[in-house]
Structure 1
Amino acid sequence: MESKSTHFLQHLYQPLRKVVLATLITAGFYGTALAQTTVEVNSGWKCAAIKEVNTDGVSISKTTYNISGWMPAVVPGTVLTTLLSNHKVPDPFYGMNNEKIKDIYDTGRDYYTYWFVNDFKTVVPDRGGQVYLNLRGINYSCNVFVNGHKLNAQTHYGMFLRQSYNITKVLNQSGNNRLAVVVYPPDPVGKPNGGQGGDGRIAKNVGLQYTAGWDWIQPMRDRNTGIWDKVTVETTGKIKICNPHFITLVPGVRKVNGPQQPAIIKASAELQNPLNVPVPGILQFTINGIRVNQKITLKPNTVTEVNLADLVLKNPTLWWPNGYGKPYLYPSQLQFFTSDNKLSDQKNVNVGVREIQASWNSHTNSQQISVNGQKVFIKGGNWIISDAMLRFSDARYDAEIRFHHDMNLNLIRVWGGALVERPEFYNACDKYGMLVFQDFWISGDANGKWIDPMKAEDQWTRRKYPDNHQLFLQSAADQIKLVRNHPSLAIWCGGNEITPPEDILIPLRDSIIPKLDGTRWFVDYSNSDKMSLNTLGGNGDGPYGIQPLSAFWETRTFPFNSEIGSVGVSDYESLKRFIPEKNLVAPQYSAQNHTSKVDSVWDYHKYIGYDAAIDPYGKAKDAEDFANKAQLVNYDQYRALMEGFSSHMWDWYTGVIIWKTQNPWTAMRGQMYDYYLDPNACLYGLHSGSEPLHAMYNPITGMVSVVNNTFETKRDLMLVVKTVDMQGADSLVTQIFVEAQSSSSKNFLPIKAMIDNRAKDAGTFLSLQLLDINKNILSNNLYWLPDAEGNYSGLKHLPASQLKVSGRHIATGKIEVTLTNPAKAPVAFFNRVSLVNSSTKRRVLPVFYTDNYVSVLPGEQRKIVLDYTPEHAAQQMLQLSVSGWNLPEQLLTITN
């Protein structure tokens, strides 16, 4: 059975038609335009299993060879995505379907070894023009043929190593050409025995480790074999620009606003001359109307690196991370003109002018990250991969990074068991101001850090993984060149929880990164003492799971914690998308025995226990009741996590990175939104707890404090503290003017005795608000506190909500929802707003909400803006759905 909600995401990974990315580009200062194109080859592919094909690549790649009976293929993609697209396998993300798909460890590698063929049109250029075939990623090894010619002399190996072939001389004069690629799986494929990375042998390759299974995912049966990244045919003039490099230097301590001292931009590139004659010309870089260029004569059959003179950018608009300022990007061009003033090649790059610094904070004993001279308190999330079947798209990347932006985070760590993320991921991070902490392909689990009886080989052997160290270094160098121009990239990391072997680590750290980048901090592994001095024992990260809220505030952990996290079950609508109805059974927790009984499908999808956390709200009656109450736990857990760390910023901590914020499949732990891009309460608890200016309450000390996570001191802030009982009667605790220094956390008043007294019988609501001098609300934080026994007894008998809701279109793709609670009414508690299809009642996905799971106090009005992509909802009649703890679901018409 396929997922009930596959259609939700079709637009996010549907292959596009062949698209001309750049054509007839007008030259800047020099020359006239030459037809220059880069065409993505992502449709019209066919494939066949190698066991079904009894001929070689030379024959297959001729246009006369008959492939009419071959199966349509998904490229970019994997063998499994193709099989799923052709209904040869069930959706592995639904129920227990993954168990129905044959695993490569049992079938042998030939079962998932496939030929991929595409017929493409490209004419032979004149005037010395060149045509290149570019393959950005194939997993794991391959041979490539065009028009009866083998392009690679030796079999190509390596998932993270790009290929580029000059195919000018093998093109057919007719313009009709054929590309044929045979793709072989990783070797070895590893046994998926339930261990982290299975038996570990998948790590002998320079590739993905999660594909053999992990504690948050089941194994991918084909180990992601396929042409998984973009294939392009690029036409240039005589000279091709390769691997452009831009470095921005922003000296001094900068402010976000006002005039800026100049910044310096260094531009360089590799220029490829494939001809047998010298080619004179000019390399030119243009940004903000300013140009720098250099004349050069390129020797025959060479690749020459050219460094342009420094460009001084006066009064630059700088790039800042999320929460601190605008992540401004300058469109810029790097061009090569031949001596007859013809544009030969052009690379368009968005340049973010910023400088990343790292320094040791001797007070916290951890690394401290600064941007443009200003220290940034890191609030991050760990990222695995966008989709476990490698169905990447610009739209999905943009949506996921936007969610991280909306969580008020400022960093994403890309975990080392996956990949160096794609340029499209980095484009979104550049756009939304998300710094990136990028691991290389090493993990302590598979690479031998610990004794592990699940592993096939001992620690000494695993410590030497991967088998081909030179391939690792070659791949690392290539991927550095691929993403180094992105301003969001802030940190390189040798691996997850362990360094690479010494003969990889030393050249990577001491020569490759300094030579090819040299502008970013390199940490040897993710929880290294060089990042965060571990004085507390243990592995330097965690814990992972439900914590008492007090732990986040009072238990001192590692000063730059790379992994700490909690639960993440989404709501009932989400669960129905991938769990069969018969398996929608709530976990049953025994407080007496401290044990849980969990349905097999929940367990297969890596459910992590909420244990006793649900019971204070009342025993869950069914799966829907469980999921609803889980959202209260989710919100509280992640709000408290970020509040607790922020309360000790620059004293105990310089940063924290949550494990983890998203899942690449339908897992049930560590996620702020589900695989289908439907946010849960984790996201909005984090949105509240990590807002740049935030009033908060320490549940242990009873201290009210204000965090200012910006570079500007905030003055004349009115701090309003009050309680509201279960009937809606409020009682002012205090309201005082306060000041919040930049990048600080400050305590203002202890109110524990008073609050405990008001909460002892039935619990209470505690409202903290920050208002500016014009009475605009800057922070609105509502806690629901338990009674003296730790139960939410008052919530169990909360009177029915009297909330009034309306929604109206305020712009294309934007809806404003107004929630109004009458005076003297009870609190309208924990309301979820959703945009739904009026016919199916299913949620439109993705939709971005300025807030959600909101509570509205008596006499208060709250507004939420919904942002969605109109074309994705064009065929759907839209309604609003609103439901809350004390409000049955309402379906509302949206007005104009």
Structure 2
Amino acid sequence: MLQATPLAEGWTLRHGSDTLPAAVPGCVHTDLLTAGVIPDPFLGRDETEVAWVGRRDWTYERELPAVDGHEQIDLVFDGLDTVAEILLDGELLGRTRNMHRSYRFDVTGLGGRLAVRFVSAYAEAEAVRGKLGERPAAYTEPYQYLRKMACSFGWDWGPTLVTAGIWRPVRLERWSTARIARVRPLVTVEDGRGRVELQVEVERSRVEAALAVEATVGGVRARAEIDGTRGVVRLSVPDVRLWWPRGYGEQPLYDIELTLLHDERPLDVWRRRIGFRTVELDRRLDAHGSGFTFVVNGERLFARGVNWIPDDVFPSRITRERYRERLRQATDAGVDLVRVWGGGIYESEDFYDACDELGLLVWQDFPFACAAYPEEQPLRGEVEAEARENVVRLMPHPSLVLWNGNNENLWGFRDWGWEERLAQDSWGEGYYLGVLPRVVAELDPTRPYAAGSPWSGSWEHHPNDPAHGTHHSWEVWNREDYAAYRADVPRFVAEFGWQAPPAWATLRRALPGEELGPDSPGMLHHQKADDGNGKLRRGLERHFAFPEGDFDRWHYLTQVNQARAVAAGIEHWRSHWPVCAGTVVWQLNDCWPVTSWAAIDGDGREKPLYHELRRLYADRLLTLQVRDQGLVLTAVNQSAEVWSGTVTLRRMSVEGVVVGTANVAVTAGRRSVADVDVPRELEPAGPKEFLVADADGLRALHFPAPDRDIPYPRPEFDVAPVPGGIEVTARTLVRDLLLQADRLDPAARADRGLVTLLPGEHVTIGVRGWEPRGDQDAAAAARSALYCMGPSR
């Protein structure tokens, strides 16, 4: 039977004459941090102090024990970052140049000093660029010249920390006669029966041995002989329970086991969990263009999505528990789709296991982003090898519903001046429209493939045409007011977003001792977007008087503006289902403490946007939309039940006087949207009035003027501690009340974000992680952490 021995202990990191203990899996930066050689690059401006690390060569070493008792001994690396030589007692075992692949070396009968020598990723990238020629990119760092996590070279939300190291586990595998080299599971559903076809490949040490494989799933067992090095096992499971996305049903998972046999003696075992479901991508032409609608088990979905970046710039630090916590935060916000963005990595099994269990659909980009990628060797062979490995590795996961060729590269070719600069040089089109769809069609025909995001489906339309396929909406953040989201109805919005700084406690930890200001040195260093602060300011000034010299107010208002901007987009686009079939917010998470588009900051704290997503992505959403015919009340019902009820409309003054009321009936069928015209006499007149719509515990608000023009009364409210939190009772209109719980204690979390109260209304805000000190007035402390619109209290 194959035996595996982890090689996690006993490693050292050497550079020149210096030797340090090394953690494996890990990377050079984390080892240097542990040893106290470098400062924490996440704090202050220390990122710049460690830039030298990515420019050096590094060597990991340990003793490799000589073992016997088996015919074959393999040294297996699940991940090496990135360009390395592997030597045993000075003899070369092999070379690597791809972070996204695993590697296997025959060390039968060998032992001695094992060394993994990493060449600087910069040196490799610059050598490839010198050989193949310059290619344009959105950023100046040379990330497109090697197969490595692109965002380790920095991004408009990420630090430049170019890593090296043994970033995934390494082990010795000992086996005799044969081992399982690859299992490719094709899982389908037909007439209520689950069909599983296991395409098996084996590696032999004895060619003459008669081999068989036996598989079990759902109480069904099947057997097949191995012909040479290949075999196929087919199983048919009756009455399977379907795997559904969260909100549509349950997520039953089936254990599948395949055993390789020789004379009925087990040689190796492959185990996974699978789920039975069907997935299609409806891209048919219609009266509005060409769609992009996910269909799971025959059910058409509006995808409530978020973009996912690596949760740490040092991915080896991301534990199973951290993946689960972050993805649980996503599901708690109503998310049902996570797009693994192309400037990152193929995530670990822990990520996809959690998505399987939580019912999160996974859209998987191949790792290409925002650059023209050469298609010549040595890159071309690496691209196909990594694609083949990872397609097969991730196939068992029912959560995986889409393979996507790249992020923004087809768009970049057309709009970012690449076409002229490239002339006839290769730039990646052959990957996205050739290599990758061929690999997916050959290995995983059960899932759809898209050439890129954005992509209109062909060169007949502009790559980012909102009427065709996927659309990225970045002109709004870059140049316009967020009201411009309502100007069109894309078929699927795969990226859009608005920036805000991280939580207060996150800033205080990341910028110790700094007097915080929007343009203070540390804040500027932790703002990586081009003119990011300028865009934040212009975005604020369209709605608010800019709070010069008041950082606390700036911090609050930028958080409010982020939540309102994303709400403007999602409410509009959801109200146009089924023409628009999904929104994927940029972005769920951060990889360090930074001002960014994330809903959850780099320390894992939820911004107000996160809590707003819980409302926006709920099965039922009530929204007021301005249409050509006037103000429209829209009931969005993504639940499986008909939503019928009465909506109470109140036209009110900001002083709290009810000017007019009406009750209107609304009925939205299952998975549908219903519109009701608001009576003209209830439409607010000028900045002193607003409209409130209430139904079944849901509320929609419409203020017809920007906040800077609204004569808010001085907010008055009472605060009282209650078990597990505080209660706030309004005596006036209190708009966008926010408890920044982390100001009370860095460990504190509030269970809600922005809330608007009418006079006489109250809300209970749950707070965990905060206990007032014995001499502390809890109500006064909580009041100090509460912010809202209107003149200062």
Q: Does 1:212 align with 2:161?
A: no
**Partner residue in 1 for 2:424:** none
SS in 2 for 1:568: coil
TM superposition shift of 1:650: 1.7
Distance in 1 between residues matched to 2:780 and 2:705, nearest whole Å: 21
Q: Aligned residue pairs: how many?
A: 748
Please list, as runs of the form range in 1=range in 2, the aligned pairs for 1:143-158 lying within 5 A after superposition: 143-146=85-88, 148=89, 150=91, 152=93, 154-158=94-98
Q: Aligned partner of 1:709: which letter?
A: Q
CA contact 1:143–1:156 (8 Å) conserved in 2: yes
Q: Does 1:541 align with 2:507?
A: no
Cα distance change, pair 879–438 in 1 and its aligned pair in 2 (3 A):
farther
Distance in 1 between residues matched to 2:124 and 2:600, nearest whole Å: 34
Q: Aligned partner of 2:77: which letter?
A: L
Distance in 2 between residues matched to 1:432 and 1:864, nearest whole Å: 26
Aligned-residue CA RMSD (Å):
4.0
TM superposition shift of 1:755: 4.4
Q: Identify which of 100, 105, 129 aligns with 1:160.
A: 100
Q: Does 1:843 align with 2:769?
A: no
Distance in 2 between residues matched to 1:737 and 1:579, nearest whole Å: 53
Q: Does 1:181 align with 2:92?
A: no
* Per-residue CA distance 1:559-580 (angstroms, 9 max, x = gap): 2232222223233222222234
CA contact 1:209–1:417 (8 Å) conserved in 2: yes
**Partner residue in 1 for 2:637:** 708
**Partner residue in 2 for 1:134:** 76
* Per-residue CA distance 1:839-882 (angstroms, 9 max, x = gap): xx3226xx7x76444456667676677899xxxx9x99999999
**Partner residue in 1 for 2:193:** 262
CA contact 1:727–1:799 (8 Å) conserved in 2: no
TM superposition shift of 1:708: 1.5
Q: Does 1:46 align with 2:17?
A: no
Q: Aligned partner of 1:47: which letter?
A: L
TM superposition shift of 1:803: 5.0
SS in 1 for 2:342: coil
Please list, as runs of the form range in 1=range in 2, the aligned pairs for 1:425-824 lying within 5 A after superposition: 425-443=351-369, 445-447=370-372, 464=375, 467-498=378-409, 501-505=428-432, 507-509=434-436, 511-530=438-457, 534=462, 540-543=471-474, 545=477, 548-553=481-486, 555-586=487-518, 600-603=524-527, 607-608=532-533, 609-614=535-540, 616-620=543-547, 621-651=549-579, 653-699=580-626, 701-710=630-639, 712-722=640-650, 733-751=661-679, 753-757=681-685, 760-761=687-688, 763-764=689-690, 766-769=692-695, 771=696, 777=697, 780-781=698-699, 783=701, 785=703, 791-794=709-712, 797-802=714-719, 804-807=721-724, 820=727
Distance in 2 between residues matched to 1:289 and 1:805, nearest whole Å: 52
SS in 2 for 1:349: strand
* Per-residue CA distance 1:209-242 (angstroms, 9 max, x = gap): 333333333322xx22221222234455643223
TM superposition shift of 1:47: 0.8
Cα distance change, pair 386–150 in 1 and its aligned pair in 2 (3 A):
farther
CA contact 2:29–2:53 (8 Å) conserved in 1: no
Cα distance change, pair 612–284 in 1 and its aligned pair in 2 (3 A):
same
CA contact 1:673–1:679 (8 Å) conserved in 2: yes
**Partner residue in 2 for 1:79:** 28
Distance in 2 between residues matched to 1:613 and 1:641, nearest whole Å: 15
SS in 1 for 2:304: strand
SS in 2 for 1:666: coil
Report the more deviating stretch, 369-378 or 261-270: 261-270
Distance in 2 between residues matched to 1:295 and 1:877, nearest whole Å: 71
TM superposition shift of 1:647: 1.0
Distance in 1 between residues matched to 2:670 and 2:396, nearest whole Å: 30
TM superposition shift of 1:722: 4.2
SS in 1 for 2:51: coil
SS in 1 for 2:231: strand
CA contact 2:405–2:451 (8 Å) conserved in 1: yes
Cα distance change, pair 667–330 in 1 and its aligned pair in 2 (3 A):
same
TM superposition shift of 1:323: 2.8
Q: Does 1:243 align with 2:168?
A: no
TM superposition shift of 1:826: 6.0
Q: Aligned partner of 2:699: which letter?
A: N
Distance in 2 between residues matched to 1:413 and 1:190, nearest whole Å: 30
Q: Identify which of 276, 280, 302 aligns with 1:377.
A: 302
CA contact 1:634–1:685 (8 Å) conserved in 2: no
**Partner residue in 2 for 1:893:** none
TM superposition shift of 1:782: 5.0
SS in 1 for 2:709: coil
TM superposition shift of 1:497: 2.1
Report the more deviating stretch, 481-490 or 279-288: 279-288
* Per-residue CA distance 1:119-157 (angstroms, 9 max, x = gap): 577964x4x4755432111122222245x48573x4222
SS in 1 for 2:514: helix
TM superposition shift of 1:646: 0.5
TM superposition shift of 1:654: 2.4
Structure 2, unmatched stretches of 5+, are 411-426, 787-793
TM superposition shift of 1:407: 2.8
Distance in 2 between residues matched to 1:494 and 1:268, nearest whole Å: 24
CA contact 1:527–1:562 (8 Å) conserved in 2: yes
SS in 2 for 1:308: strand
Q: Aligned partner of 1:661: which letter?
A: L
Q: TM-score, normalised by structure 2?
A: 0.83
SS in 1 for 2:718: coil
Cα distance change, pair 188–545 in 1 and its aligned pair in 2 (3 A):
same
Q: Aligned partner of 1:738: which letter?
A: V
Please list, as runs of the form range in 1=range in 2, the aligned pairs for 1:390-409 lying within 5 A after superposition: 390=315, 391-409=317-335
